Amino acid sequence: MLFERELAILVGIDLPGAHLSAEVESIAELKRLSETAGATVVGQLIQKRDRPNLKYFIGSGKIEELKALVLAKEANLVIFDIELSGAQQRNLENYLEVKVIDRTELILDIFAQHAASREGSLQVELAQASFSLTRLVGHGSSMSRLGGGIGTRGPGETKLEQDRRKIRHKISSLKAEIKKLGRERTLRREKRRKSQLPLAALVGYTNSGKSTLLNSLTGAKVLTRDQLFATLDPTIRRFYLPSNQTILLTDTVGFIQKLPHQLVVAFHATLEEVTEADVLLHVVDGSHPYFEDQIRAVYNVLEELKAVTKPIITVFNKADKQTSPTPSHLIKKYAPAVSISALKKEGFDELTKSLDRLLAR
């Protein structure tokens, strides 16, 4: 855990085309991510900018304000809600004299904490290596001999080139090992196909209740916690529909706003369960004030996986936390859709009937 007992300041950026309320929600989510990683959030800043500052991303006035806040709160970590370049990250750390990370690095740390299986750990390591390669830049003349002049010519590698070569070699090795595990998973998938059992995959925003729903429907014992990305490794269980048809249910890693592309690529093996599924159960936290933004974020990832055209049942979960039932216009808008409480096991009859009807088509 990289951020245990660290005091963090969060920095949000309100760029053109985005609503301030969206950035407020995004930084609220960043706070939950930080707490999930083990940090204590002691302050936050949001700056509205027309374009990023090339050196610090934020402006000169705001960085002075940020440094004053770091000193006042005795913070030792600053987390940006956007993706920084390697140069910006280094410039910020030199100016603020504390560790600086961005949203991608934060999510990578959480994934590293929660990966339980060998394949999950390898996928996290691959994502971290890919991230490191994009951030690898020279740190002054000590990192490179490409300055020209006497003593700099010849076939020798620069330190930067050596580092890049090492990381690329590591990425190749990780991909080879993941591919080997993937072949084993393909064999298991072929056995499933021969059994002719339909596969329904639970997808949705992180912490929407997918694992709770799987546990309630099938008696599985998947870890459930009120935190983001509690489960990374998929679990598959048999389930019996009212028609007596047997199907397979699997949960998947949760999605999130601004999900880093390298995580989607690295976890493609895990997310194959989504692409192989016959039907998707899109679990939505119906009690969340911005659940429609979360729905859009999920559909963005489904489009990237080329799975958005699959049959989808929208499952508005956490009815027990809602002050009133899910409005009928939302049920109609996202039809086929149902309202349930996975925790209280309410609304399951309509859910299983909807799944039965969809598979019968």
CATH number assigned to the domain with residue range 7-110, chosen from the 4 options 3.30.470.20, 3.30.450.40, 3.40.50.11060, 2.40.10.10: 3.40.50.11060
Helices 103-114 and 20-37 pack at an angle, to 10 degrees, of 40
As averages over each run of 10 residues, the pLDDT of the chain (361 residues) reads: 72 67 79 89 87 88 94 95 89 94 88 76 84 66 42 56 86 87 74 81 90 89 61 79 91 77 65 86 92 90 89 95 87 94 94 92 78
Q: Where are the beta strands (DSSP E) in the chain?
A: 7-14, 40-48, 77-80, 99-102, 199-204, 236-240, 246-251, 279-285, 312-317, 337-339
Fold of 197-360: Rossmann fold (3.40.50)
Q: What is the pLDDT of residue 149?
A: 45
Is the model's pTM score more than 0.85?
no
In 3D space, the residue among 272, 84, 305, 262 whose CA is nearest the CA of residue 171 turns out to be: 262
* Distance between CA atoms of residues 134 and 159, nearest Å: 16
| All structural domains of the chain with their residue ranges | 7-110, 116-136+157-195, 197-360
* Distance between CA atoms of residues 214 and 79, nearest Å: 34
Name every residue whose Cβ is closer than 8 Å to that of residue 290 and which is 6 or more positions away in sequence. Answer: 25
Q: Assess contact for 160 and 138: CB atoms under 8 A.
A: yes
Q: What is the pLDDT of residue 247?
A: 93
Domain 7-110 shares a fold with domain 197-360: yes
* Distance between CA atoms of residues 250 and 240, nearest Å: 14
What SS3 string covers 152-198? CCCCCCCHHHHHHHHHHHHHHHHHHHHHHHHHHHHHHHHHHHHHCCC
